[in-house]
Structure 1
Amino acid sequence: MVSRSRIAAIVAVLVVVLVAAGAYAYDNSQKNEIAAGVTIAGVDVGGLDAATAEAAVRRHLLAPLRHSLKVSFAGETWTLPGAELKLRADVDGAVEAAVEASQEGGLPTRLVRYITGGELERSVPAELGYSQPAINRFVRHVAAEVDREPRNATVEPYSDSLEVVAGKSGRKLRDVLLTRQLRRAVLNADARHTVTAVVHGTPPEVSTEDVASRYPSYLTLDRGAFTLRLWKDLKLAKTYTVAVGQEGLETPEGLYAIEEKQVNPSWHVPDSAWAGDLAGQVIPPGPADPIKARWMAIYEGAGIHGTEETESLGSAASHGCVRMSIPDVEELYDQVEVGTPIFIG
């Protein structure tokens, strides 16, 4: 007959075996469950199986980040749709890492955690990604809308006056700063999703204060009043009475510049019907040369020159040139340089 002590020993062994088998079976049933205290990118996934944890992470981590980004400036707003950012995260890899972490420490450690309700306290990162080219394209688009080239101060000429058109500063988007702000906003659900663009000013090369120094001399011709005006640093310096082109041979209208200057020039007779037998000839300085004292070319054979026919001044009498008295043309010649603008109106 088996003794009671032997029976007790056998029972004890059986109990241990059964407990061990039960513990092993229970632990094996938890292999797909994440231990309490484990988080993935801040999302609590403790006690969840892999599939449920994956859904929770996508819901709590990715969904709040799938928002549009906006940039505002001066009352205008531009939007980058969330879909274009192609936000993504390695959720599967993070969940797998969380499950593996839950199995660390061996069976005894896990059993103690199961029995006591202890937590693993493990934070598993989830690598987030997005389309950086989409942000770069968006920033370039905003820059194209916001950037403005500076406008130099300049002069608007009229036949009897000059008007200074003020310069205007431009602006340039601080694109590097905007890119950095948008990248932060993509991965931060709590960040402001509307970013105010910042610009810096770009001054014009020629300011309103400097424009006069760009025009040491300027000429305006009022054909109707037979008046040539000389402007120095955009201030009226002298007014001359002149003759201009007759009907059919008008002095050309528009904005030109002094192309060349000559003292006592020869007359290069144009091939025109009015020139008669002289057409195409070169008449040297002398009594037969009507181009007296000085020559300042303007445009296609037209220019400013002296004349002995002072009675024609104050009328439309020339073949397209601007006639001046000899003293006046000599004086003017020394006041202007090649390149001096002349507006004929």
Structure 2
Amino acid sequence: MRQLSIIALCLLIAVLLAGVGGVYAYDSGRDDLIAEGVRVGAVDVGGLRATEARALVRDRLLEPLQEPLLIRVGDESFPLSAREARIRADISAMVADAVRRSREGSVFSRTWRGLTGGQVRARIAPTVGYSEAAVQRLVDRVRVKMSRDAVDAKVDFAAQNLTVRESKTGRTIDAKRLRAKVRTALVSTAGERTVRAELEKVQPKVSSGRLADRYPVVLTVDRGGFRIRLFKNLKEVKSYPIALGEAGQETPSGLYNIANKAVNPAWNVPNSDWAGDLAGTVVPGGTPENPLKARWMGIYDGVGVHGTADRASIGSNASKGCIRMLIEDVKVLYDQVPVGAPIYID
């Protein structure tokens, strides 16, 4: 009886060993088999051997990525080939990861799963690479071609008129957003290889409608016609006769601003031969010796607009560089011109 028990135990051990050996043999024969339910990206590789999976992933994942990527901006197109983008994918690593996930667990759990049709719910993220420099070059190409600087409104000054140059709205591309969209499209296996970019408006700093606000008052001096003109909000409202600098002491041309103003100004006499005994002195305002009558609007380097008692000089080159006006005219003009107002001398 005891001998029979020993024989039975030995038989049981032999059966168990045979079973375990069979399990290990079954499992070792599936060491490169990917479990059902495993995907690489959107590619179902479940039930495939590693070699088969690599071929399928190459066909389903890598091949679509070889199609050119296209950026569309309105009617313009900007292509980027896979070669330029240096598209690359480590298919072997992705499949190896799929096999590794399939081999998780014990030999017995894997065998049971294989025999019963169980699945491993796993999705392997595709590892796709590209050239960041190529992306940057593409976005730069789009930006340079499609962007346009905004143009501020401006005024062209002339002796007799002011010409307004209209502002223009610019446009640009959000380069940061476009780069992100290109990066996403380059590694997408969904088949969509077109990226659409929108142009954004760039408003000018100075619009045509706001230009008059920047130039509420402008003076222009027509040296050939001996006239000074007053413009308000870029429209001429009045002109006055003037006298200008004589030969050798011409009134300077150019664009200036009214630097200072004074009523009955003192005269700081230049140290010049023509000033005679008054050279280097200060002549009080309102005195007969002071030629700066009634009002003063300084321009540049001792030159300014002022009233004169020499009415006969109006319409001629008679001053030492200043702009002379009739006293009644300079009083009216003075009250309408603030410090800082532009004055253009042609």
TM-score of Structure 1 vs Structure 2, range by shorter chain: 0.7 to 0.9
Matching residue of 1:337: 338
Query: How far did 1:31 drift?
Result: 1.8
Residue range with higher mean Cα deviation, 55-64 or 130-139: 130-139
Query: How far did 1:325 drift?
Result: 0.8
Task: Tell me the alpha carbon deviations over residues 101-150 of structure 1, each in whole angstroms, 9 at most, x when there is no partner.
Answer: 6987647536636xxxx574754322546579769956974556655554
Matching residue of 1:326: 327
Are 2:73 and 2:199, in contact at CA under 8 Å, matched by a contact in 1? no
- In the aligned structure 2, how far is the partner of 1:98 from the partner of 1:338? 81
Are 2:269 and 2:275, in contact at CA under 8 Å, matched by a contact in 1? yes
Matching residue of 1:195: 195
Matching residue of 1:109: 112
Query: How far did 1:45 drift?
Result: 2.9
Q: TM-score, with normalisation over the residues of structure 1?
A: 0.78
Cα 1:68/1:301, change in 2 over 3 Å: farther
- In the aligned structure 1, how far is the partner of 2:19 from the partner of 2:73? 70
Are 1:31 and 1:103, in contact at CA under 8 Å, matched by a contact in 2? no
- In the aligned structure 2, how far is the partner of 1:74 from the partner of 1:247? 62
Are 1:66 and 1:87, in contact at CA under 8 Å, matched by a contact in 2? no
Q: In structure 2, what residue type is equivalent to 1:204?
A: P
**1:91 aligned counterpart, secondary structure:** helix
Q: In structure 1, what residue type is equivalent to 2:225?
A: A
Q: In structure 1, what residue type is equivalent to 2:125?
A: A
Cα 1:22/1:214, change in 2 over 3 Å: closer
- In the aligned structure 1, how far is the partner of 2:26 from the partner of 2:96? 25
Are 1:156 and 1:163, in contact at CA under 8 Å, matched by a contact in 2? yes
Matching residue of 1:314: 315
- In the aligned structure 2, how far is the partner of 1:145 from the partner of 1:280? 63
**2:340 aligned counterpart, secondary structure:** coil
Are 2:23 and 2:111, in contact at CA under 8 Å, matched by a contact in 1? no
Are 1:41 and 1:123, in contact at CA under 8 Å, matched by a contact in 2? no
1:2-151 equivalences under 5 Å are 25-35=25-35, 38-54=38-54, 56-65=56-65, 69-73=69-73, 91=94, 93-100=96-103, 106=109, 109=112, 112=115, 120=119, 122-128=121-127, 137=136, 141=140, 146=146, 148=148, 150-151=150-151
* Aligned-pair Cα RMSD in Å: 3.9
Cα 1:251/1:69, change in 2 over 3 Å: farther
Are 1:219 and 1:343, in contact at CA under 8 Å, matched by a contact in 2? yes
Query: How far did 1:87 drift?
Result: 5.6
Matching residue of 1:220: 220
In structure 1, the gaps of 5 or more residues are 1-12
- In the aligned structure 1, how far is the partner of 2:309 from the partner of 2:110? 122
**2:103 aligned counterpart, secondary structure:** helix
Query: How far did 1:223 drift?
Result: 0.5
Query: How far did 1:342 drift?
Result: 0.9
- In the aligned structure 1, how far is the partner of 2:258 from the partner of 2:128? 64
Cα 1:78/1:104, change in 2 over 3 Å: farther
- In the aligned structure 1, how far is the partner of 2:77 from the partner of 2:89? 26
Q: TM-score, with normalisation over the residues of structure 2?
A: 0.77
- In the aligned structure 1, how far is the partner of 2:270 from the partner of 2:67? 75
Query: How far did 1:247 drift?
Result: 2.5
Residue range with higher mean Cα deviation, 19-28 or 147-156: 19-28
- In the aligned structure 1, how far is the partner of 2:216 from the partner of 2:172? 32
Q: In structure 1, what residue type is equivalent to 2:123?
A: V
Query: How far did 1:287 drift?
Result: 1.4
Q: In structure 2, what residue type is equivalent to 1:337?
A: P
- In the aligned structure 2, how far is the partner of 1:138 from the partner of 1:211? 38
Query: How far did 1:86 drift?
Result: 6.7
- In the aligned structure 2, how far is the partner of 1:152 from the partner of 1:212? 13
Q: In structure 2, what residue type is equivalent to 1:249?
A: Q
Query: How far did 1:161 drift?
Result: 0.2
- In the aligned structure 2, how far is the partner of 1:261 from the partner of 1:294? 8
Matching residue of 1:253: 253
In the alignment, structure 1 residue 186 sits paired with structure 2 residue 189: no
Q: In structure 2, what residue type is equivalent to 1:184?
A: T
Are 2:27 and 2:111, in contact at CA under 8 Å, matched by a contact in 1? no
- In the aligned structure 1, how far is the partner of 2:163 from the partner of 2:107? 84
- In the aligned structure 2, how far is the partner of 1:247 from the partner of 1:68? 74
